[in-house]
Amino acid sequence: MSITEITRDHAQSTDSEGDGPESDFERYDVTDHSYIKVHPTTAVGGTAVALRRFPGDPNDDDDDGFVGLVVEDPFLKTDEDSFEGSTVFQSRSNEADLKVVNTDDKQTDTEDVPGVIFDTAMFKAVNCETFEGTDDFGSSDRYIIKLTGNAGRSAARCLDVSGLQNGDVVRDDSGVPELNENGYPFYNGGLVEKHPENDDNNYTPPRYVRDPQLRPDMQGEDVIYVLEYTSDVIDDYEGNSYWSTVLVDTDDGRPDVVEPTTEFEPDEDLVMATRWLEWTYPSDERIDEIRQMRDFDETDA
């Protein structure tokens, strides 16, 4: 979205006295929370409280940050063969920095090191085995499971109020953007925007259009984030990527898979404060063409 598009959109929502639109949105306060970095093959859960976006480095175009799942009463699944080696490490220098690994994993090494090595990276830490075993457990009532990388983004889409659809403007059956009463395209509510020019030879990673919002049917539920190697779940795949699955505990003891949804809508204040369509918002020239196509009368705006 260009600067002129931003200012026009802003002006259309400005009242007659010249005051800009107000938003009551505030990002979830993460003061005194602990952070949980997850590695494969593990399953980490907790009672879901919120989703929180952590923006990336503004000087790095490739760093889109990550989303955190805020939970209470975190737990580690170890009751299946795949997860038997799972354990919790706590940083020696920062008690709020936790890492979950599987000591049976091919990239994990805990032999004769002051902590754990994952994919050649050293994490100086104490093996606490469980969250309850960490120092000062309970002083922070809430924890943040870091949903990083492509696998984390997929999990965030599952947990968001409108994560199923790609972030875009609303379009008709022919793909032409619809216009609001002021003659501008309007946002469809999706969480993640994909670059429209991606193909076999060109790839730009997806980006978050807005801050996420935890879907209401997950609020207060025991949600489990499972991180595995894609090669372990997809036949004939030989790459090194990770695969995430989001589960929710049920009364019968068999977790259900959480799929992305469009059943809900993000709060207006959140959208107003954080939305940014970078690739899919039409140019000024294209908007003018659509107005003419739809016989839009600017005097009615």
Cα separation, 11 vs 17, whole angstroms: 12
Give me the amino acid identity at 39: H
Q: Which amino acid is at 167?
A: G
**Pairwise CA distance, residues 168 & 179, whole Å:** 13
CA distance 80 to 289: 58
| Token pair belonging to 219 | 């609020």
Phi, psi of 231 (to 5 degrees): -65, -20
Beta-bridge mates of residue 222: 47
Task: Convert the pLDDT of each residue in 71-101 to its tens digit.
Answer: 999 999 999 999 999 999 999 999 999 999 9
Nearest to 211, CA basis, from 269, 165, 275 = 275
pLDDT tens string, the chain, 301 residues long: the values are 322 232 234 323 433 333 445 567 889 999 889 999 999 999 999 999 999 999 888 778 778 899 999 999 999 999 999 999 999 999 999 999 999 999 999 888 888 888 998 988 899 999 999 999 988 766 668 999 999 999 999 999 999 999 999 999 999 999 999 999 999 999 999 999 999 999 989 999 999 999 999 999 999 999 999 999 999 999 999 888 999 999 999 888 889 999 999 999 999 999 999 999 999 999 999 999 999 998 887 655 5
Give the pLDDT confidence of 201-219 residue by residue, as tens digits.
Answer: 999 999 999 999 999 999 9
Q: Whole-model pTM?
A: 0.87
- Helix H segments across 107-165? 149-159
